[in-house]
Chain A
């Protein structure tokens, strides 16, 4: 789309962008494509005009495709040189049986069959039904509505279907690669934002990872010195949520690291302490308030909320929800939703013995 649109060449678009000093963001993801801009408020109309060209009038010329296919191919090759990225790409490939298994760039095979025609067909999925325009920062709402109507009012098209997410059965595997560290990835079933357990889930993940006193950092790094990098986070795909964990360590310590990592995640079903929950809560509240200071962060949240809930949440609503979660709620959730039977993929010089979860 940025290779030429609305009568402007790629260079013309880039120059229009630089004339505004506008910082461009976004890109294609597994389920959405996002176009974002960070700009000065006085340039809002120029930005609408520029983005309307790119979104509604891309040229999609055949000649432009070849260099982009080259870039995608090279991007995929770069994965080979980045063990953690390669590990998670390979994990997705084994985890999903639906189209979510492929990297966003495609596969070396799929790139071979891409034509200008398939790209143009893909673009018919860009319709206003299911598209969200989010703004945060300094603006006049009446003016924004006028601009939205002026530039996007004539945009038409039906809502398109999303491919359902389908999972493969649980698996364990190892990828042999001559890397310095052995890289470990775990994926457990988790919770989606639309679940009533969402806040309990993210508070529990924060007990596990994200802070200095979180269990993974304390047990894997601080007490045992097993890894520099260890983490767990929530992952979403379609209507599903997951708990995803990673650690990188030297081959001779991989088994112990995997074992401690699993033990910490899998003993969560026994619950968290009141102190842990309070630290987790204040950390999330503090991040929430700091993200509210940044127009860019706020804008992403608005768009994401709309996708999840069909509405947006105010900072106050999220704050109230986080403050309202009781210890019993979190522990009841964890007891009823034990993290167990993860899919496991490791990458390194040699296979890692499966760390059977060791109970503390």
Chain B
């Protein structure tokens, strides 16, 4: 097999009368099936008193619907041998599972039930305690704290700066009534995509989906896209308990429907990949223990994200080197060989990752949710291959790294040095 011999994908696809989009990618060699509901909702769709509501609702989905309670629901999932889980982000909430093909109908029924949860009061209070524990758990993870600080700093008052988990006080103040209102507002069938990947019987599943969602009715679902003007900023968060200095950076990037997003991924690989410029400048030299760079394309907006972890005494030096790498690439552009290698790396890793049902489910469902396109693995490989040196250098001519939000977390001494960093 080479990348040229990957067979073309034929998609199953339909939008039901109630607005629910169902998309399928049959993998004839598969021995399992993965399925997932992708909901176009997340922290950015929460109003000010709703901090953490999307994520809390995702937890409550697993507490059962009108017919079954949480323990029974869990037992039923497990009886199917299903690996089932969910995640909530700024823009998407997803409920997903995988099992053997013969259990697909029962799993589909259970998974669909998650989207119409009972929201019982005693479950609500119990689960609130679990979420407060989850917030505490993330507070013991410095990198997570760093990006929780950085995100609102970069996005300012834009809803993309909202926290997925919410704060202790915002979560404590949430009510079942507010959750029900949010659910009604966001979980409309026309705001959902149901995806199947692997071995499945499309006609039978579709008939079942129609029956299971017959009572669902569509309604107008909005999302606000306020203007966003990125600005440079620096904030320092001293924490004498940490033994490392952590620095996070965000720069303006490109939205998911922008054709330049692939060139952005190639650029991010050239900078932050295993063989990227930051690796050779900071890790190969032993100066820092982590130096990464990536591009996140979102709904209407996108950003580049950088991360650096090092000894606090070296934070200023490492940041200067990190900045130097970004300045040099902006000034001089990228080279033919590094573009070729980065493209090859991205293309092959995509093809190898997405050849089994479960990983492929996310690529398929999320891509459709963001772009309304049915994009196959071979399409992605082609798009990556179509990136040229000129496309990457055209991106760099826009000087995307000239606006930077920087957050530093760690011991105060190092951070004082950082306060001299130019804004």
Chain B residues within CB distance 8 Å of chain A: 1-3, 29-32, 62, 70-71, 73-75, 77-84, 98-100, 126-134, 136-137, 139-142, 241-244, 274-275, 280, 283-289, 309-311, 337, 341-342, 344-345, 347-349, 351-352, 356-358
Contacts and interface: CB of A to CB of B under 8 A. Distances in A.
A164 B149 CA distance: 47
A74 interface: yes
Interface of A: 10-11, 14-15, 17-24, 38-42, 66-71, 74-75, 77-78, 80-84, 138, 178-181, 183, 211-214, 217-218, 221-229, 248-250, 275, 278-279, 282-283, 285-287, 289-290, 292-294, 296
A179 B142 CA distance: 11
A251 to B, nearest CB: 10
B344 A283 contact: no
Given A21-B347, A279-B75, A283-B81, A70 B133 contact: no
Contacts of B342: 18
A19 B341 contact: yes
Given A18-B344, A67-B284, A81-B242, A74 B289 contact: yes
Contacts of B310: 74
A197 to B, nearest CB: 23
A221 B62 contact: no
B274 A24 contact: yes
B133 A212 contact: no
B137 A248 contact: yes
B116 to A, nearest CB: 18
A289 B78 contact: no
Contacts, number: 186
Contacts of A22: 348
A66 B286 CA distance: 8
Contact of B140 (A40, A226, A248, A285): A248
Nearest to B81: A286
Given A40-B2, A67-B284, A78-B309, A18 B275 contact: yes
A161 B136 CA distance: 45
A294 B357 CA distance: 10
Contacts of A287: 81, 83
Closest 4 CB pairs of A and B: A21-B348, A67-B286, A286-B81, A70-B286
A81 B275 CA distance: 27
17 contacts: A11-B280, A18-B345, A24-B274, A40-B3, A82-B141, A181-B136, A183-B140, A213-B75, A221-B130, A225-B126, A226-B129, A248-B136, A279-B79, A286-B32, A289-B32, A290-B32, A290-B358
Given A74-B310, A286-B82, A293-B357, A20 B286 contact: no
Contacts of A21: 344-345, 347-349
A293 B142 contact: no
Contact of A77 (B81, B275, B311): B311
Nearest to A294: B356
B244 A78 contact: yes
A273 B82 CA distance: 20
A2 to B, nearest CB: 10
Given A218-B74, A283-B83, A294-B356, 9 more contacts: A17-B275, A23-B348, A23-B349, A40-B2, A66-B286, A211-B78, A217-B74, A223-B71, A225-B129
Given A75-B289, A81-B142, A213-B74, A286 B136 contact: no
Contact of B243 (A81, A228, A283): A81
Contacts of B358: 290
Given A21-B347, A66-B286, A81-B243, A212 B79 contact: no
Contacts of B241: 178
B286 A68 contact: yes
Contacts of A68: 286
Contact of B81 (A83, A217, A275, A285): A285
